[in-house]
């Protein structure tokens, strides 16, 4: 087992990474606050792993709820199902919620924990690459609104994150590839060495080499933990973790939640952000093209869907990163170094949105 610590003062916690950790009952019980537990999972994950978690919880008052699976269900209506179950089980402020699933389950469980009786404990047990390296770490919780992704939420840190790479063996290939988008993102925006390592090791990650996966998960959790510990509430440097997300969220919204996986949209969003970076003279074309090539080598899309440029831009301007000064973009200076950029004109953004080909190698 490897451990990454996230230093947030009284809200500090550890991320535990290791094969077989789903069956480490002592580790799980150590982070349960009281006697009541609600496991929140989904209809896909419950048949695979719910019984293994329940086996560690004899002696507790335990209930479980399996939500419908998919980004399209990350809504206030679905969130209310969790609140209803908590009230039905007479859960008090000592209850601990266990999020057993991917990013959608983790986000909704964390948001429910932030809101129920004004805040209760929760533990993340992520089951996808995307949730291992991104959504389970850092305390961002939210649901979507038809007009914008993750627009309704709260910062609420878990008591622990328990990552078992062996769970990825049940992950569909499309979900595995989509999760690698966030791994690529961390290298592109924060660590040139990690980006180069990915260029060499993507095939082994795709083939579920547990040793390589464990290394990648630990490195990515460390990158994110280092940034979040500096800026928990995203008032500054944490915004860098949104590289590719402003464009990506607009893709998800415009295409309908669930039609593009989050990681697929972020992959194209990174290519669009890199294209804009080159157009603005910030980034060398060769660096941006290496990013596009790595995304393609991971089996991820690099071409945005056809959409009305003006409507796409309108969706981008409903993003959480819009301030009184305008849209805040995360753009690439070079591989391993992204920057927060404000003041980019709508015409410059539209040049990327309307491009017939992004980052042409010609």
Q: Which residues belong to the active site?
A: 118, 140, 182, 224, 234, 238, 242, 245, 249, 262
Q: Enter the tokens of residue 212.
A: 């390589």
Q: What is the DSSP letter of 36?
A: E
Q: In whole angstroms, what separates CA 188 from the centre of its chain? A: 16
Decide: 330 and 242 in contact? Cβ < 8 Å. yes
Sign of CA dihedral 324, 327, 332, 336: positive
Helix (H, G, I), strand (E, B) or coil at 330: strand
Q: What is the DSSP letter of 260?
A: B
Helices 262-279 and 173-190 cross at an angle (nearest 10°) of 30
Nearest alpha-carbon partner for 320 in 219, 216, 241, 249: 249
How many other C-beta atoms are found inside a 10 Å radius of the C-beta of residue 51? 10
Q: Enter the tokens of residue 291.
A: 């990013």
């Amino acid at each position: 087992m490897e451990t990454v610590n996230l230093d947030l003062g009284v809200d500090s916690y550890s991320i535990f990474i290791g094969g077989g950790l789903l069956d480490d009952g002592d580790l799980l019980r150590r982070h349960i606050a009281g006697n009541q537990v609600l496991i929140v999972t989904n209809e896909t994950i419950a048949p695979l792993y719910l019984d293994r978690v329940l086996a560690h919880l004899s002696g507790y008052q335990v209930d479980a709820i399996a939500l419908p699976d998919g980004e399209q269900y990350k809504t206030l209506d679905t969130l209310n199902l969790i609140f209803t179950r908590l009230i039905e089980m007479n859960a008090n402020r000592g209850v601990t919620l266990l999020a057993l699933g991917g990013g959608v389950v983790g986000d909704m469980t964390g948001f429910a924990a932030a809101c129920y009786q004004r805040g209760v404990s929760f533990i993340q047990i992520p089951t996808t690459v995307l949730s291992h390296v991104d959504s389970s770490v850092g305390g961002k919780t939210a649901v979507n609104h038809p007009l914008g992704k993750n627009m309704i939420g709260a910062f609420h840190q878990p008591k622990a994150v328990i990552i078992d790479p062996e769970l990825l063996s049940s992950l569909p290939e499309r979900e595995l590839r989509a999760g690698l988008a966030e791994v690529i993102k961390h290298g592109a925006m924060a660590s040139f060495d990690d980006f180069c390592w990915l260029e060499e090791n993507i095939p082994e990650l795709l083939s579920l080499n547990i040793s390589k996966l464990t290394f990648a998960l630990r490195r990515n959790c460390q990158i994110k933990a280092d940034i979040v510990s500096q800026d928990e509430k995203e008032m500054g440097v944490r915004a860098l973790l949104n590289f590719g997300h402003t464009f990506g969220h607009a893709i998800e919204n415009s295409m309908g939640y669930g039609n593009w996986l989050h990681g697929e949209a972020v992959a194209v969003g990174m290519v669009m952000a890199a294209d804009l970076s080159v157009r603005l003279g910030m980034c060398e074309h060769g660096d941006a093209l290496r990013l596009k090539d790595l995304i393609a080598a991971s089996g991820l899309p690099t071409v945005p869907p056809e959409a009305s440029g003006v409507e796409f831009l309108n969706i981008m301007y409903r993003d959480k990163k819009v301030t009184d000064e305008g849209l805040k973009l995360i753009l690439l200076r070079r591989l391993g170094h992204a920057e927060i950029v404000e003041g980019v004109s709508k015409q410059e953004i539209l040049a990327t949105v309307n491009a017939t080909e992004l980052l042409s190698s010609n």
